[in-house]
Amino acid sequence: MKVLGIDYGTKYIGLAVGDTELKVAAPKGRLKNGEGVFERIANIVRESKVGLVVVGLPLTPSGKEGKRAKEVREFARRLKDHLGGVEIVFWDERYTTEEAMRRISDLPPKRRKELKDEISALVILEEYLNSL
């Protein structure tokens, strides 16, 4: 099954796509968060024949949900209305940004900034796929 990984951010939303059978994932880019973002994500889900969406849930270091996790849950709730029954699951995204930045640390600062969101989504999705 095709899977879409999402790293939610207030400015940008990072995306990655993967496959549960092959257990591989690839970055899919980032979208500017704002008007029309739900429709754009729904189009990607339809075009890529995605059967599951994995959304990174930012927990505190102790594993609790804070204000940011509530924002992500609200985003996912609103996204679900646009996905025509595609299931959304949450994945603990603690330390995924640090892992993403480690992976792209050799790139120039501007390029790191551009790739951070989609590589974070990739890490989230890889962790999810590896748990299956």
Q: What is the value of pTM for the model shown?
A: 0.95
In the DSSP assignment, the letter for residue 63 is S
Counting Cβ atoms within 10 Å, is residue 100 exposed (0-12), middle (13-18) or buried (19+)?
buried
Q: How many domains does the chain have?
A: 1
* Chain position carrying tokens 């939610």: 8
Which domain range does residue 63 map to?
2-131
Pairing of β 50-57 and β 87-92: parallel
Q: How far is CA 35 from CA 29, 51, 74, in A?
A: 18, 24, 15
| pLDDT (tens place) for every residue of the chain, 132 residues total | 999 999 999 999 999 999 999 999 999 999 999 999 999 999 999 999 999 999 999 999 999 999 999 999 999 999 999 998 999 999 999 999 899 999 999 999 999 999 999 999 999 999 999 999
Q: What is the CATH number of the domain that holds 91?
A: 3.30.420.140
* Chain position carrying tokens 């008007």: 35
